[in-house]
Amino acid sequence: MKVLPFTILYADDKSVIAERLEQPHFYPYLHRHDEFQLTWIERGEGILIAGNNMHAFKAGDLFLIGSNLPHLLKSNPEYFEHDPATTVKSTSLYFNAKGSMNGLFDLPEMKSAKNFLQLNRHGFRVHPDWVPGISAKMLKVYETSGAQNLISFVELLSALQQLEQSEPLCPIDYSANISDNEGIRLSNILNFIMERYHTALTLEEVSNAAFMTPQAFCRYFKRHTGRKFVAFLNEVRINEACKSLTASKRTDSISDAAYKAGFNSITNFNRVFKSVIGRSPRAYMEAYKRLNKY
């Protein structure tokens, strides 16, 4: 299963690739490509793994993903159940500042944009207040062609540079250098965890799946993700619990959310939840309800 690198196909008359997709789930493997990727989630939920960090995503989220940053938009398990009513939808733009668009970014007028991309080389999550404006400009790029397409793209870049309160996808000192073989192995490990986090998953199971001893696996996982295995697993489970506790259709009880996310003890769930989120599950739910009254 060769997942790194991933090749973006360009049309003969395009420097920016724009696509709108509606499908059962997002591409399920860790991958990277030379292009920056700007993705607006129109429908769907899951976890974005980017470099050595992860972020829960939902409809309305918008991410800039850096060039050659290993990433994976992992849809929630229900999107793999082949239910025609459960699909994801997104708009994405891909552009290579050092490849087909190198000439554009070498212009003096584009110096600030080039510096902006270097400063944010790993990418970021766009603050919700800015998503409507940025997504509208993305759609303009998608809908235009010829010179107007390039003009629309430059206007989008200018808008991105004005953003405030953006959340970096991973630390600035993260190194995206990873061999293809390591990428394949890490992808398999992450997929194994993401498919089984709601079960009583153990270190022994994961290390066996990776064909390593538990000690060697722990060192390998920490080196490539910046986290201990148990900490990563707990964060995945707590992200899932947060979505269950605040789902718009029907919120789960605290115990339901805990067991659905893979915890077999409410006491342990409460302790881990507070260590990850900074408050108890009940306080988190109350704060969410207060915010959504307005």
Exposed, middle or buried, 197 (CB in 10 Å: 0-12/13-18/19+)?
buried
Mean pLDDT of 109-133: 94
Q: How far apart are CA 13 and CA 169, in angstroms?
A: 31
Query: How does residue 13 score in pLDDT terms, banded at 50, 70 and 90?
Result: low
Domains of the chain from N-terminus onward: 17-168 (2.60.120.10), 197-291 (1.10.10.60)
35 close to 8: Cβ distance less than 8 angstroms: yes
Residue 11 confidence class, pLDDT cut points 50, 70, 90: low
Q: Give the residues across from 62 on adjacent strands.
A: 40
pLDDT digits (tens, 9 = 90+) for 218-228: 998 888 777 89
pLDDT at 91 over 90: yes
Residue predicted with more confidence, 1 or 217: 217
Q: pLDDT at residue 2 above 70?
A: no
pLDDT grade for 77, boundaries at 50, 70 and 90: confident
> Tokens 């696996």 belong to which residue?
217
Query: Looking at residue 235, what is its pLDDT?
Result: 87
Q: Is 82 left (phi over 0), alpha (psi -120 to 50) or beta?
A: left
The reported pLDDT for the residue numbered 149 is: 93
- Please list, residue by residue across 72-96, b when 16 or more beta carbons sit within 10 angstroms of its beta carbon and e when fewer do: bbbbbeebeeeeeebebebbbbbbb
pLDDT at 52: 78
What's the mean per-residue pLDDT of the chain? 87
What pLDDT shows up at residue 1?
A: 31
